[in-house]
Structure 1
Amino acid sequence: MVNKPIKWLFVEIDIDSYEHFSFDLWMTIIRSNPQFKPKRTVLLKEYFDIDKNVEEIDRVIRHYDNLFNIISEKTGNHIEREEVFFLIIASLGKDIQGISVDDLRGFFMRSDKLFIENIPRIIWKDIDQLLKKIKEKEKTASILSNTAFIYGDSLRKVLRQLELEQYFSFMIFSDEIGMSKPNIKIFEYLYKKTQELRPLHRSQIIHIGDNKIADQNGALSYGMNAKLVKF
């Protein structure tokens, strides 16, 4: 008798066909809390005394967020958030000569605190059941995520609060290794991390994410399996 893939919400995943499950994070497992970004916009305005309304500031933040996601996908390199925010602040009419990297880091400390206080929402509603089943079958799972304005240390705290951290053998964030999906080197790094757990062939690994370029094409180009999900 052939086992059919289990359908988790709208996603069919045949757990028995793979030994390691790599998951994207943003828009695959979680999405931003709708209260966070407006609060971050107000914080940016007040912290740097920006003489623009919050709607204009929000528009500029979204523009550069989207732009740098595209650049990261095309180059495969991680772009430091300090660089992005210097451009954002300059675009909003502030003279960045008077703003130091330490000033920005002070802003990020407060922004990260807001992020944790306004914790992201889980969008893959039965992800805990899927991860539990993977663990029960003595298989392994990990996170492989590009990061832009929110870095890996804060995302680990979020997964801990959401009681999901326990299911992942390791987590890879682009800000911590200087590479972004779909760079083949980041999938090579993922493969090396799985080998530290136990010997596996690339065909025994599946990467699951929402982005066709970064997740699906990136994994397939390295010889892994891929599953595209949309919620």
Structure 2
Amino acid sequence: MEINYENYSHLSFDLWLTLIKSNPEFKQKRNLLFKEFFEIEHGIEKVNEVVRYYDVLCNNINEKTGLNIDTYEIYYLILSALDVDFERNDTGSLLEFYKHTEELFLKYKPVLIYPDIQNLFKEITVQDKSISILSNTAFIKGQVLRKLLEHYELADYFKFQIYSDEVGFSKPNPAIFQLVFDEINKYKKINKKNVLHIGDNCIADYNGAIQFGFNAHLLKI
């Protein structure tokens, strides 16, 4: 990852498709679990299609509204599309299913896009610059993403981590970038132009950061 960061005091990183990418085995096994856990009568190909459709749709809605659709809401949309009776599944069963997906997620972990990213983080932080995470979430909540970053021994490099499911806002909503700015100013006083946000999504990361007043770097993986 090549970033010209010399003129910035703080670097804000997106997570998905910026630092990590999904393990393809996870999605396959998660969708199979979806079919078996909820006793879905459709074939796995249909389950894959519906899950993918609502994953993309809900992400697009979050970008348009700037809010955050809850994981359980996404589950209910998928179940409805797959003809599963709502009455058979209360939030308790959704919680149980989510716990199983977390276990799968940590067994079939996302991989680092840049295996040597720790070297970049060391290089940045030894210059008295700070870094943080700003990530939209959907099926996987911020709590388990924190565990993932601990697994890769990256968590200690971040001054803070902000996830959309924990704050109720999604990029490109200026409110979530304001949270980043507020957190930075708790430990050092800087202006918006001293912050560089790095991400792969033109709408959520690049445009969102620029419109808020940060600088931005769009990654092209």
TM above 0.5, one fold? yes
Cα RMSD over matched residues?
A: 0.8
Q: What's the counterpart of residue 3 of structure 1?
A: none
Structure 1: distance between partners of 2:151 and 2:42: 35
User: Where does structure 1 differ by over 2 angstroms across 4 or more consecutive aligned residues?
Assistant: none
Distance 1:73 1:62 in 2: 17
Counterpart in 1 of 2:11? 21
Compute the displacement of 1:18 (Å). 0.3
Q: Which residue in 2 is equivalent to 1:75? A: 65
CA distance in 2 between counterparts of 1:174 and 1:187 reads 11
Aligned match of 2:46: 56
Instruction: State the match for 2:91 in structure 1.
Output: 101
TM-score by length of structure 2 reads 0.98
Question: 1:149 maps to which residue?
Answer: 139
Residues 137-166 of structure 1, C-alpha deviations (whole Å, 9 max, x = no match): 011000000000000011000001111111
Q: TM-score w.r.t. structure 1 length?
A: 0.94
Partner of 2:103: 113
CA shift, 1:14, in A, is: 2.2
Q: Which amino acid aligns with 1:194?
A: I
Within 5 Å, give how 1:39-50 maps onto structure 2: 39-50=29-40
1:30 paired to 2:20: yes
TM-aligned CA deviation for residue 127 of structure 1: 1.8
| Deviation for aligned residue 1:124 | 2.6
The 2-side partners of 1:14 and 1:229 are apart by 12
**Matched letter for residue 27 of structure 1:** L
SS state of the match for residue 130, structure 1? helix
**Identical positions, percent:** 44
Q: How many angstroms apart in 1 are the aligned matches of 2:125 and 2:218? A: 22
Counterpart check, 1:191 vs 2:181: yes
- Matched pairs, number: 221
- Indicate conservation of the 8 Å contact 2:146/2:155, yes or no: yes
Cα pair 2:5 2:196 within 8 Å, conserved: no
